[in-house]
Amino acid sequence: MQALFTTLLAALAPVFSPESGHFALALACVLAALQGILPLIGLRRAHSPLTALARPLALSHCLALLISWACLIIAALGDDFSLKLIADNSAINKPWPYKIAGLWGNHEGSLLLWVSLLSLYCALLALLPGQSPRHPAGLPPRLRSRLLALLGIVSAGFELFCLTTSNPFLRLWPVPIDGLGMNPLLQDPGLAVHPPLLYSGYVGFAVPFAFAISALLDGRADALWARYARPWVISAWALLTLGITLGAWWSYAVLGWGGYWFWDPVENAALIPWLTGTALLHSVIVVEKRSHLQSWCLLLALATFALSLSGTFLVRSGILNSVHAFANDPARGLFILALLGLYGGGGLLLFALRAPNLLPPATPSFTPLSREGALVLNNILLCTLCAIVLTGTLYPPFMQLLFGRTLSVGKPFFEATTTPFIIPLLLLMGGSMALPWRYAPINPTLRRLALPLCLTLGAILPAFWLFPTALAASVAVLALWVINAALNDLISRFYTMPQEHRGLSRLPRSLWATSLAHIGVGITMLGLCGMAGSQERLIEAQIGTHLHFGGHDWALTALTPHHGPNYEAVEAHIIIRRHDAHGPVLAILEPQIRLFPQQGQKILHVAIIHRPLEDLYAALGSVKEVQTPQDQNTYRVILRVHENPLASWLWFGGIIMAMGGVLHLIPARRKRRPACA
Amino acid sequence: MRLTRRHYLAALPALGAAGLGGGFLYMLRHATQGTFDPKAVRNPRLGQAVPAFSPLPALPEQPTPCPGLSWQDFHTLTQPVLLLIWASWCLPCLEEIPFLRQHIAGETTTASPLALWGVCYKDTPSQAAHWLEQAHHPFSRLGMDYDGQCAIEWGVTGVPESFLILPHPLTGSRIVWHGTGSLTEALYREQIQPFLRGAL
């Protein structure tokens, strides 16, 4: 198997050489530029062959980038250290999946990933069936060509950036014998998947951006436009949600600090577009159903992409100092800023010129107490949250710039400022589902909400008894309210269906999607509240030490050496028994401390047992040899143990949220038409 | 074309973005010339007077009582103070303790000119007491910052962080040095000691 693999690699290497990859990248850049220019000329001159070129160009653009990835992967698997990217980030003894995953764990590779994902979106847009008698819901060909052209322009700029300042195919001379190896922290399956997921969310918002530009060029953003754009908004949102969830899980399970969110600039850079993206997701519904909020929705689409661009790239330019920053190179920063100005600034300028002249909605206006009113309030709250996070992130460098004062903004600031907006948002989330469009009479609405309201009120006392702080308890009650209201909505809609057509699968797909996403938010919020009561204990221990912690007995029974492929480790063996030292065994935790000699880095490999109501978590801090009074050598270790209530609910909720989005994307079953109409 | 309120409103996002972009451009250009250092962002309150904060209570029920901490304490300083922001749940905090005990709290050396004060960040009294017991309580003053408010005033982003405060008879006490992460001997020798020599 191994031999076959090596032969295959050797056979492919001359064809898919780094030079071929470099050439493919340059070709992709040219194809993207053509994809951007030719269809626009075609549309302008009403020349349909030129317009129709958008699809083949998008497909070949994507193919060229896939070829350059194939070249890069073959070089990485074959340990070609003449490539700077591979020499800097890989090593011979690195396990092979990480040789591939390590390719996007650095600036050049992640940029190539970014443009490749954008080209995959273009290819998807080109491959989905267009509007035809068989597919009446498909995109009209002219709109599709224009979208592909706009996305081609965006791709071409970033591919040019990739080629000129961050080329992943640069050679190195003299060729080193072995690579430097990657940051051991990144050697984790979660991190292999995290960047592609997160980036596909970031990049996905390019499609709504192109939709918005197209609407501004047309001077029209009607219900039909919103129906075409909405699946793309939802898919990007779902991927970004998954990406953020996975990132939070990674910092919880791999960084080993016990926390899951540190309000680091890079984390904020993902949260900011997520917040505006969530606002966009809700406002595009209003445009689709009621044709209101058109310019607001367009602005959100532009801002979300501009923010995700700035998030991805400004953090890497060295302005926002962050633990995640890959490449602090201001020269690259200038190029990025120029691109940002071109796309983000250009989009906003177009908005300033065209938005005031958008056609006013044809539908009658609405009262504040209505579905529209609730969605407007939702947008206000989400955008306020986004503004807070943005301010907190940008405050330190701008404070330094404007007043020469240094200041840092951390977790305390963000927690104190975001909570007052999260609470009304949760309140609203539960109530809004029961509101009809246009006008909601008060009494029927209250009657509809009576059951979840009572259930929630009944949960107040237990919540205050269970959760450690009043704030956590109140947020938990609100989270329950969100879940109850979403379930209530599903159930009441089920029972209002006519009896002969009643069925869970017959409920509208969008209702299922919304309820699931809201339930997911509720579950995540419950997890957040549970984690507010997490307990940690730091002890110095030796073999035989018992610790009574979190209602359990934790015993360190053994310390064993452990050999990894490219690290040496010490593994602690911790037996957790229920209640006391004689209780039944609850779990066995085996945290390690790993030393990567190549990088001279020590990495905590934490051990976690996920249980439905709590996570048991242990990290082995450091090991030292000491002499006992009897002149015997023993080992003393520093152990950090955590009891994290409801921790797994955080990630579970995130996955449910994204599932809600995915459910919405699955095409509805074609309605069977009667044979003779 | 008549300009209406809608036009002005629609231009606001573009203007805001232009402002931010201009700021970033300035920062990037000056970062290349070395006149703007984004890393300096990490050093809050450096070179300034001690920020005002509400008094922090002492840790209750201690065998050897240790007074709490207030803003006024910094105004009546007679010796340099190393202020440590720590928490019982923080691993690097425990790792720096042997060094602190040896070199600063004066356990093995002769009378040290440096006082070691602590702020316990967002912790419970029982866990803090447990931790202090293991660390042989190196502090001569210790304030409990239960809600993390004091840490906001000091601009702390994480634990451990440390500040060196020098007394000055005329201008009042000033923060002259700030560090994040564990204190080590090398760090102490290279960065803190020069200040102490200057102060004495």
Check B158 against A410: CB less than 8 A apart.
yes
The residue-averaged pLDDT of A47-58 equals 92
Give me the pLDDT at residue A677, please. Answer: 38
- Selected residue of B2, B12, B20 to mutate for chain A interface (largest A Cβ count, 10 A): B20
> CA-CA distances (angstroms) from residue B115 to A131, B72, B84, B143, B186?
77, 16, 11, 14, 19
A309 or A333: whose pLDDT is higher?
A: A309
In tens, the pLDDT along B157-182 reads: 777 888 888 887 667 788 888 887 77
> CA-CA distances (angstroms) from residue A544 to A541, A558, A590, A677?
8, 8, 15, 81
Give me the pLDDT at residue A493, please. Answer: 87
Q: Which residues are CB-contacts of A624 (< 8 A; sequence separation ≥ 6)? A: A635, A636, A637
The residue-averaged pLDDT of A251-260 equals 80
In tens, the pLDDT along B89-147 reads: 777 777 777 777 776 655 444 445 788 888 988 888 888 888 888 777 888 888 998 88
Which DSSP symbol is given to A459?
T
DSSP A192-255: HHHHHHHHHHHHHTHHHHHHHHHHHHHT---HHHHHHHHHHHHHHHHHHHHHHHHHHHHHHHTS
CB A562 within 8 A of CB A571: yes
Between CA A343 and CA A209 the distance in angstroms is 10
The residue-averaged pLDDT of A473-484 equals 95
CB A589 within 8 A of CB A642: no
A72: pLDDT strictly greater than 50: yes
Question: Tokens 């322009």 correspond to what residue?
Answer: A153
Compute the 3-state secondary structure of chain A and give helix, strand, coil in percent, each to the nearest 5: 65, 10, 25
Q: Which residues are CB-contacts of A436 (< 8 A; sequence separation ≥ 6)? A: A370, A371
Give the confidence band of A676 by pLDDT, cuts at 50, 70, 90. very low
Which residue from B minimizes the CA distance to A620?
B91
Residues B25, B31, B32, B35, Cα dihedral to 10°: 120
A622, containing H or E segment: strand A614-627
The residue-averaged pLDDT of A270-283 equals 96
A420: pLDDT strictly greater than 90: yes
Joined tokens for residue A379: 């947008």
The residue-averaged pLDDT of A338-358 equals 93
In tens, the pLDDT along A153-196 reads: 999 999 999 999 889 999 988 888 888 877 777 788 877 888 89
Q: If phi over 0 gives left and psi between -120 and 50 gives alpha, with beta otherwise, what is residue B79? A: beta
Looking at every residue in chain A, the average pLDDT score rounds to 88
Task: Find chain B residues with C-beta within 8 A of A394's C-beta.
Answer: 20
Between CA A30 and CA A362 the distance in angstroms is 43
High-pLDDT (> 90) share of chain A, %: 54
CB A372 within 8 A of CB A290: yes
The answer to whether B153 faces chain A, any CB pair under 8 Å, is: no
ipTM for the whole predicted complex goes beyond 0.85: no
Least CB–CB distance from A337: residue in B13, B21, B130: B21
Which A residues in the span 527-566 are in contact with B, Cβ-Cβ below 8 Å? 536-540
The answer to whether B4 faces chain A, any CB pair under 8 Å, is: yes
Between CA A561 and CA A559 the distance in angstroms is 7
The residue-averaged pLDDT of A109-134 equals 93
A321: pLDDT strictly greater than 70: no
A675: pLDDT strictly greater than 50: no
pTM of the predicted structure, to 2 decimals:
0.83
Least CB–CB distance from A330: residue in B6, B32, B42: B32
A662: pLDDT strictly greater than 80: yes
Least CB–CB distance from A299: residue in B13, B43, B156: B13
The answer to whether A356 faces chain B, any CB pair under 8 Å, is: yes
Which A residues in the span 299-328 are in contact with B, Cβ-Cβ below 8 Å? 299, 302-303, 306, 314, 317-321
The answer to whether B133 faces chain A, any CB pair under 8 Å, is: no
CB A448 within 8 A of CB A484: no
- Selected residue of B53, B86, B89, B93 to mutate for chain A interface (largest A Cβ count, 10 A): B89
Which residue from B minimizes the CA distance to A340?
B21
The residue-averaged pLDDT of A278-289 equals 94
Check A410 against B157: CB less than 8 A apart.
yes
Joined tokens for residue B20: 């931010």
Least CB–CB distance from A412: residue in B31, B131, B148: B148
CB A61 within 8 A of CB A32: yes
The answer to whether B115 faces chain A, any CB pair under 8 Å, is: no
Residue type, B155: G
Q: How far is A469 from chain B (nearest CA, A)?
A: 12
DSSP B81-148: EEEEEE-TT-HHHHHHHHHHHHHTS-SSSS--S-EEEEEEES--HHHHHHHHHHHT---SEEEEETTS
- Selected residue of B9, B27, B126 to mutate for chain A interface (largest A Cβ count, 10 A): B27
Question: Tokens 């451990």 correspond to what residue?
Answer: B160
B34: pLDDT strictly greater than 70: no
Between CA B151 and CA B140 the distance in angstroms is 19
Least CB–CB distance from A319: residue in B13, B38, B46: B38
Give the confidence band of A124 by pLDDT, cuts at 50, 70, 90. very high
Q: How many CB atoms lie within 10 A of CB A502?
A: 12
The answer to whether B33 faces chain A, any CB pair under 8 Å, is: no
Check A397 against B89: CB less than 8 A apart.
no
Give the confidence band of A632 by pLDDT, cuts at 50, 70, 90. low
The answer to whether B19 faces chain A, any CB pair under 8 Å, is: no
Q: In what order do the strands lie in the sheet with A535-541?
A: A535-541, A633-645, A614-627, A607-610
Joined tokens for residue B16: 């805001």
Which residue from B minimizes the CA distance to A541?
B134
DSSP B46-72: TTSBPPP-PPBPPPSS-SS----B-GG
Largest Cα separation within chain B, whole Å, is: 83
Q: How far is B2 from chain A (nearest CA, A)?
A: 11
